[in-house]
Amino acid sequence: MNRFLTRAALGAIAAIFISSAAMADNATLGIRTEPSSIDPHFHNLGPNNGMLGQIFGRLVEWSPDMRTLIPRLATSWKAINDTTWEFKLRTGVKFHDGSDFTADDVVFSFNRADNYVGGNSGFRTYTKGKTVKKIDDHTIHISTKAPYPLMPNDMATVLILSSDAKGTGEKDKNFGVSARDFNNGSATIGTGPYKFVEWKKGDRIVLEKYAGYKGPLAQPWDKMTFKFIKSEPSRVSALLAGDVDLIDNVPAEDIATLKKNNKVTLSQGVSSRVMYLHMDQFRDQSPFVTDKNGKPLDKNPLRDPRVRKALSLMIDRASIVKNVMSGVAIPAGQFLPEGFFGRSQKLKPDPYDPAAAKKLLAEAGWGDGFGLTIHGPNDRYVNDAKICEAIGQMFSANGIPTKVVTMPGNVFFKRANGGPKSDPEFSLILVGWGSGTGEPSSPLKALLATYDNAKGLGAANRGRHSDPALDKLLVQALTMVDDTKRGALLAQATELAIGKNYGIIPLHYQVNTWASRKGLKYQARADERSIGINLIKDK
């Protein structure tokens, strides 16, 4: 009441307060990262995939927790033989401009994504080597050369646009529809539950409900406004001031205070992202491995799996989760948290056991210890620099004097990755990996398969781990269409690569936190997307 009087007294200024609170069916979301484009095939990036999935449809959609695939534009799918998948398409679906959705649109979109010119890493990873054929208006066949079990997972990535989309771009480039045609809305015609209204770069994106929507997704709001607020304290205060209904990426240090605030609801969910250490496993003289006095060594202890295991046992994961991550993380022993497909039931997070670590080091001939430097980014993951420091201290306390060096991601990743012409620069790094396919073949392929530029394997194998037995298992798993058998093979590969050989040392899975005003809640997404259709009323 008081507040109302104050406003009335302020006369004209009060007019400002006709905000989201007054019109219950509009939602305003304060999110950290702005998409880089409205073109669905331009950039395979979390914020883009999240935002655009509300405007355009995919054949298949992940459930928010990424445990199950939901039929979206496809109603069913099956492998009709070893190398061909059949997708049945939903009937009666209409694009935002009223035209019918048919197999032609799928073929068109697939080809546009596959042949995309320009852009920043599109979806070729998911379209490469696949041929889409229209059988009838509502049936397509997708074929590959070798058996390809991940077809439904891959179809949860490429967004479908109308084959009638007209643009102003060059005729032979991206079918004449350029990113700019999407950014200004003229070509932004999808089948999703929301229509594109406007994008004011650096400020907001506005979407409105599509009355003719047909499909499995909810439409909880009439209008959704996404505001981009990069600064953490500003995002939190925007929520507290009632200017937005939801914020994402709640800073870990604010969670405790917000929990006590009875005007705020917190929603949390474990993400498919694992934080891990990668170690130089290919050089005999590793640049940042030294003796205890800082002199270079002619032998690289990190090549010995026993040493890597010893390092893992020196890490007190529970303490990192509690003290560094303010409790919003879960200790990890493999690539994906509980409940995901292809996970090993045997692997558990390593306990903190300095005695066993010492014994292993002695066995490996490094009982006197050695010197290390841990490198990591300081602006890429939640508390990344602090995790590096904690690990540095734990190693140092257990006879491995460790220096900690962190740097901005834009400098770190180039040096950590190396490439066809240069080797990765560091000896031990902290990085993270979110599995886009919701199962462990993506990290196994990228992080631990032997680095092979031509085959596209080990693209993020920054320690150049290499194990022929693993490579063989992986090939088997990647072509095994039978789900049960593939799951077992993936679990077996994980047990070999992490449980036995410690190709990487998993630390924890990030837990993501969203905060909404009381009366609303967010269906936490394992893929870390912040989208309006998962913001729902709390009963």
Partner 1 sequence: MQAAGVVFLMSLLVFSGVFLIGDPVEMLIAEDAEESDREMVKRNLGLDQPYYVQYLRFVAAALRGNLGDSFVFEEPALLLILDRMPATFELAIFALLLAIVIGIPLGMWAGLKPESISARTIMTSSILGFSLPTFWVGIMMIMLFAVVLGWLPSTGRGPTQSFLGLQVSFLSMEGWSHLILPAVNLALFKLSLVIRLARAGTREVMHQDYIKFARAKGVSRSRIILVHVLKNILIPVVTVLGLEFGGLVAFSVVTETVFAWPGMGRLLIESISTLDRPVIVAYLMIIVLLFVLINLVVDVLYSVLDPRVRLTDVKG
Judged by the rule CB under 8 A, the positions of this chain that interact with partner 1 are: 3, 6-7, 10, 12-13, 15-17, 19, 30, 36-37, 42-45, 117-121, 124-125, 179-180, 183, 200-204, 227-231, 233-234, 237-238, 240-244, 379, 408-411, 413-414, 417, 419-420, 433-434, 436, 442, 446, 453, 456, 459-460
- Report whether 249 contacts 47 (CB < 8 A): no
Burial 121-153 (b: 16+ CB within 10 A, else e): ebbebbbeebbbebeeebebbbbbeebbbbbbb
Nearer CB in complex with partner 1: 9/355: 9
| 8 Å CB contact between 508 and 325 | yes
Of 323 and 453, CB closest to partner 1 = 453
Task: Say how far apart CA 433 and CA 252 lie, in whole Å.
Answer: 20
CA distance 326 to 319: 10
In which region does residue 114 sit, left (phi positive, over 0), alpha (psi from -120 to 50) or beta (all else)? alpha
Residue placing its CB nearer to partner 1 in the complex, 230 or 518: 230
Please name the amino acid found at residue 449.
A
Tokens of 461: 């194998």
Report the nearest approach of partner 1 to the CB of residue 510 (Å).
Answer: 14
Nearest to 157 by CA among 48, 81, 249, 34: 48
Q: Smallest distance from the beta carbon of 309 to partner 1, in angstroms?
A: 26
Q: Whole-number minimum distance, CB 399 to partner 1, in Å? A: 34
Q: Which residues contact 223 (CB under 8 A, 6 or more apart)?
A: 25, 26, 27, 197, 206, 207, 208, 209
Least distance (Å) between residue 308 CB and partner 1: 23
44: tokens are 């395979």
Helix (H) or strand (E) holding 259: helix 252-260
CA distance 516 to 241: 12
Please report where in the chains the tokens 């390092």 appear, as a residue.
311
Q: How far is the CB of 110 from partner 1 (least distance, A)?
A: 17
Minimum CB distance to partner 1 smaller for 290 or for 383: 383
Minimum distance from CB of 454 to partner 1 (Å)?
8
Would you say 96 or 235 has its CB closer to partner 1?
235
Query: What type of residue sits at position 296?
Result: P
- Minimum Å gap between C-beta 401 and partner 1 is 29
List beta partners, residue 155.
Answer: none
Question: At residue 128, what is the residue type?
Answer: K
Residue nearer to partner 1 on the CB measure, 25 or 203: 203
Interatomic CA distance for residues 169 and 266, integer angstroms: 44
| Closest CB to partner 1 among residues 311, 457 | 457
Provide the minimum distance between the beta carbon of 313 and partner 1 in the complex, in angstroms, as a whole number. Answer: 28
Least distance to partner 1 from the beta carbon of 367, Å? 38
Q: Could you tell me the smallest distance in angstroms from the CB atom of residue 244 to partner 1?
A: 7
Q: Closest approach of Cβ 468 to partner 1, in Å?
A: 21
CA 450 vs CA 45, 230, 469, 474, 487: distances in Å: 26, 38, 10, 11, 21
For residue 88, give the amino acid letter: K
Considering the complex, state which of residue 50 and residue 399 has its C-beta at the smaller distance from partner 1: 50
Nearer CB in complex with partner 1: 227/306: 227
- Which residues fall within 8 angstroms of residue 58, CB to CB, at 6 or more apart? 72, 73, 155, 156, 157, 158, 159, 160
Q: Kindly tell me which of 182 and 522 has the beta carbon lying closer to partner 1.
A: 182
Which residue's CB is nearer to partner 1, number 76 or number 231? 231
**Chain position carrying tokens 């295991």:** 309
